[in-house]
Chains A and B, each alone.
Chain A
Amino acid sequence: MKTDKKSPERQDCKTDFTLACPFPIQNYPRVLLAHGGGGRLMHQLIGGMFIPAFRNPLLEAQHDSTVFEVGGRRLAFTTDSYVVRPLFFPGGNLGSLAVHGTVNDLAMSGARPLYLSAAFIIEEGLSMETLWQIVSSMQQAAREAGVQIITGDTKVVDKGKGDNLFINTAGVGLLEHSLTIAPQSVQPGDAILLNGDLGRHGMAIMALREGLQFASAIESDSAPLAEAVLDLLRAGIRIHCLRDLTRGGLASALNEIAEAANLTPLVEETLIPVREDVRGACEILGLDALQVACEGRFAAFVPEGDAERALAVLRQHPGSAGACRIGNVTSQRSPRVLLKSTIGVQRILDMLSGEQLPRIC
């Protein structure tokens, strides 16, 4: 990695980290919110600092959950922290989200989720009633997803030093198939499937934060995905890759896979379902629905021959009734995503840079 030895940031970096810091800090001597936005800036932080620091082959796979072998069985392991504000939103709350998110990361390896941990970082003064509502949602979400929360941690921080409540969950799941569900398995010609409409979770939160009023509230799509994935496996679908569409939305997910697989997916804008109210809210705020976060949506890469069967299986799940096919992987060996626009012209579909900022006019 090239670095300018004379730059003052480089000097700072050395003193802060004692070892040479591998991350080109350049214009970013401080962490920005955008470093956690799911876009390119976050990937630069992960790829520039965390991966080199902790380097090992399992980590470098950079999948939603890591698959490893113990005693001849393959397990999946993942962790995620939940910091959403407000704590309650239409369609869920921090507690249900903390279960769904981690269960879904396990599901993206095709694992059957087994156990979760739950760590609570609570701000002094949070109402006990609020905490209980969130904990009971977690309990219910865990029951629905078929997982047990088997260990945990409780910390309380001073008033003003936390935002009501943060939850971290980690999860372990068991793989009962022999596929390698990962970007490296994606093949030219694969069909790209989506299990439903995009952008509802992100816009539900955004509408609350920004006080946007619609005829009826946009409700989050937050839902567990493991059953739908396990049904695909039971049906014998040869799944090549799965990715849930959280921060950065479909755009980030497809770009991550394109980069890891060194292939070019092509999707058609007119085939990608986005609900009217979500589109309306995106238009008002100047956001791209393809970059908005979901919490119950995933993209599946499957062989062309399995696509129709996979869709039929997905559509039997209430949360995936709107499953559809949005495109194919082309034979181009170039790590980018192409989108056929509504007027029939192709362009690239880029991932978010930092975080989505509403436009001016």
Chain B
Amino acid sequence: MKYLDEYRDAEGAHKFAREIARITTRPWTIMEVCGGQTHAIVKFGIDQLLPREVTLIHGPGCPVCVTPVELIDQALELAARPEVIFCSFGDMLRVPGSKTDLLAVKASGGDVRIVYSPLDAVNTAVKNPGKEVVFFGVGFETTAPATAMAVYQAAHKGVKNFSLLSSHVLVPPALEALLNAPDRRVQGFLAAGHVCTIMGYEEYLPIAAKHRVPIVVTGFEPLDILQGILMCLQQLESGRAEVENQYTRAVRKEGNLPARQLIGEVFRVVPRQWRGLGEIPLSGLGLSESYQAFDAQRKFGVAQVRVPESAECLSGLVLQGKLNPRECPAFGSRCTPEHPLGATMVSSEGACAAYYRYRREPAEPAGIQTHH
């Protein structure tokens, strides 16, 4: 397939791998921020092409995974209401709240619908004037413009039965939080290419300078990731700490200006609770003053729902890059995609899901053995 196969080519991959091995002189630890990159790494086996000195650790860049359990519980409460049509990206449906998940709410009669675009939720609201349509806006800066556009259009078309449960989060504050941690292991970052297609990479410049850490804006295909790793290692080996752009075919320094303007119009930056990382100041997007009427938390009074995170799920450590999913005692036994303890096991960008799907050792099949 054009624009895809070129970046999945074995010969190209091995060329980058040889160059990486050639220039690496000592141990380095690099974090890929985005869960999409984590999945590509584990799925294509990119880490297995790297020399022993290079360790990849997986970052918090799975928006579904960092959504705190209390926000999921708020979503579940809304979805169960008879007057509500609850619209969500498919990824959220299996994520466990403290007691249940959206799929189970759907099975119990809740009107839960998968949408591909937040605008579909606005259209659903127009078509169902007697219902309240709530869209669960989850994502980093990548999906924020689409959510912002939905709210903007609802406002301008006067669609009053549409509202947003916002769980949008921002990447740079999370990087800062990881870099400020006392036991920081990360020496270089692969920044999430898709986020930067929207936001550009100017906001990473002060982070790289302040923390003396190289940041390479990187794409999602195997060759993108290998080249991003190579660029990061070149910086580390030569003592540089700059922001570089591997993903030049999609990312410009200033990003997508109309998209950024729309985010600025509809949202304001708010403090946000991250699963595993705790509350990070100025790390989330909430609706700005003029769009408050579309805030589902306010409209339905669910903001008070407060739930502690499960003690058994160690996804907090996984999301900080402190624990590899396979080191978790529950991995593959008490925690599987069918019976997840946390979002990282079921999100298509979750690190635990990636290891379960692509790296798991064979286990006894669940249920009753039928062949003796």
Contacts and interface: CB of A to CB of B under 8 A. Distances in A.
Interface residues of A, number: 51
A360 B143 contact: yes
A1 interface: yes
Contact of B91 (A44, A343, A346, A357): A357
Contact of B367 (A28, A43, A280): A43
Interface string B31-55: 0000010000011111011000000
Nearest to B146: A361
A51 B370 contact: yes
A48 B367 contact: yes
Contact of B348 (A28, A286, A342): A286
Interface in A52-68: 52, 60, 62
Contact of A44 (B13, B338, B348): B338
A42 to B, nearest CB: 10
Most buried by B among A23, A52, A276, A344: A344
A77 B135 CA distance: 47
Contacts, number: 147
Contacts of A47: 365-370
A347 interface: yes
A345 B116 contact: no
A347 B359 contact: yes
B316 interface: no
Please classify how large the interface on chain B is, using the bins under 10, 10 to 19, 20 to 34, 35 or more.
35 or more
Contacts of B359: 347-348
Interface stretch (B102-110, B227-235, B282-290): B102-110
Contacts of B132: none
A22 to B, nearest CB: 6
Contacts of B46: 343, 345
A306 interface: no
Contacts of B349: 359-360
Contact of A347 (B13, B42, B104, B362): B42
B165 to A, nearest CB: 14
Contacts of B152: none
Interface in B105-127: 106-108, 114, 116
A133 interface: no
A210 B89 CA distance: 13
Contacts of A28: 104
A46 B368 CA distance: 9
Contact of A346 (B4, B45, B89, B360): B45
A335 interface: yes
Contact of B337 (A40, A259, A358): A40
Nearest to B360: A348
Interface stretch (A8-16, A29-37, A82-90, A142-150): A29-37
Contact of B108 (A26, A30, A346, A348): A30
B367 A343 contact: no
Interface in B327-372: 336-339, 346-349, 356-360, 362, 365-371
B9 A360 contact: no
A330 interface: no
B338 A41 contact: yes
B10 interface: yes
B9 A343 contact: yes
A341 B365 CA distance: 25
B276 interface: no
A164 to B, nearest CB: 19
Given A30-B104, A359-B349, A52 B368 contact: yes
B139 interface: yes
A319 B371 CA distance: 34
Nearest to B367: A47
Contacts of B68: none
B114 A358 contact: yes
Nearest to B100: A27
B184 interface: no
23 contacts: A24-B366, A26-B339, A27-B104, A30-B107, A40-B366, A41-B338, A43-B365, A43-B367, A48-B367, A283-B1, A334-B362, A335-B362, A342-B10, A347-B45, A347-B358, A350-B356, A350-B358, A353-B337, A359-B89, A359-B90, A360-B349, A361-B63, A361-B143
Interface of B: 1, 4, 8-10, 13-14, 36, 42-46, 48-49, 63-64, 89-94, 96, 103-104, 106-108, 114, 116, 138-140, 142-143, 194, 222, 336-339, 346-349, 356-360, 362, 365-371
Given A27-B104, A343-B222, A354-B94, 8 more contacts: A32-B107, A279-B1, A283-B1, A343-B45, A347-B43, A347-B358, A350-B356, A353-B338
